[in-house]
Amino acid sequence: DSGVTQTPKHLITATGQRVTLRCSPRSGDLSVYWYQQSLDQGLQFLIQYYNGEERAKGNILERFSAQQFPDLHSELNLSSLELGDSALYFCASSSGQGVSGNTIYFGEGSWLTVV
Amino acid sequence: SQQGEEDPQALSIQEGENATMNCSYKTSINNLQWYRQNSGRGLVHLILIRSNEREKHSGRLRVTLDTSKKSSSLLITASRAADTASYFCATANLQGAQKLVFGQGTRLTINP
């Protein structure tokens, strides 16, 4: 158990809908990262927050947004869902501001299926 | 975009044998991390090796790093059926150091 908690574990929704994925980082970790894993793209970095502020953006679509709340939990919002958004979405956390020298701990992921 | 490339893409060995997986990357790094993923599950952190380190051990795992060749290897000794999983290397680049960039992974199968 990495200490990173993600909910829901599985989600099935229709195209055009909106979903919210939730992440609680490890106790004491200030950074939260979101990754998407799909068969064709592999593991892709989406976005990172540190202590409530956005620190880095990766291949995140405009239809997607995220935020980190004062209690450090984070939410990833996916809207206008398309079939191609079906993937495993991971949240990860670390104690530092970035990945330099910091171990990044991943949650179990949220399986999103868009039908 | 993928930074690391794992080799081989798939590896099948007998229980008790050693398994070696390789990772090559393109840009200068701050550190490289290896992860394991059981089918459809989360990523489990195995080892972090910094750019100024050449070798690290953790139990049956041995990781080497050659920054001149921009490559790393993960050796699992005395493999067990429970080691069956996908293994990923991930690099923390000197630039854009807020994210890990993952390779496509090596699918390891340990046959009993």
| pLDDT single digits (tens) A36-83 | 999 888 899 999 999 999 998 988 999 999 999 999 999 999 999 999
Per-residue pLDDT of chain B (112 residues; tens, 9 = 90+): 446 688 899 999 999 999 999 999 988 888 899 999 998 789 999 999 999 999 999 999 999 999 999 999 999 999 999 999 999 999 987 765 567 889 899 999 999 9
User: What helix, strand, coil percent values describe chain A, rounded to 5?
Assistant: 5, 50, 45
Contact: A99, B43; criterion CB under 8 Å = no
pLDDT of residue A10: 96
Query: Left, alpha or beta for A52 (phi > 0: left; psi -120 to 50: alpha)?
Result: left
- Using an 8 Å CB-CB cutoff, list chain B residues near A5: none
Whether the per-residue pLDDT at A13 is higher than 50: the answer is: yes
Mean residue pLDDT of chain A comes to: 93
Mutation site for A-interface testing, chosen from B30, B43, B46, B56 by largest number of A Cβ within 10 Å? B43
b/e burial code for range B65-98 (CB count within 10 A of at least 16 → b): beeeebbbbbebeebeeebbbbbbbbbbbeeebb
Question: B80 touching A, CB under 8 A?
Answer: no
- Using an 8 Å CB-CB cutoff, list chain A residues near B63: none
Name which of B3, B22, B38 is nearest B74 in CA terms.
B22
> What is d(CA A88, CA B93) in angstroms, rounded to the nearest whole number?
24
Question: B4 touching A, CB under 8 A?
Answer: no
pLDDT of residue B1: 44
Nearest chain B alpha carbon to A42:
B104
- Provide the pLDDT confidence category of residue A32 given band limits of 50, 70 and 90: very high
Q: Provide the 8-state DSSP code for A82.
A: -
Question: B45 touching A, CB under 8 A?
Answer: yes
pLDDT of residue A87: 96
- Using an 8 Å CB-CB cutoff, list chain A residues near B105: 42
> What is d(CA A69, CA B87) in angstroms, rounded to the nearest whole number?
32
pLDDT of residue B108: 97
Close Cβ partners of A20 (under 8 Å, ≥ 6 residues apart):
A75, A76, A77, A78
Question: Phi, psi at residue A83, to the nearest 5°?
Answer: -55, -35
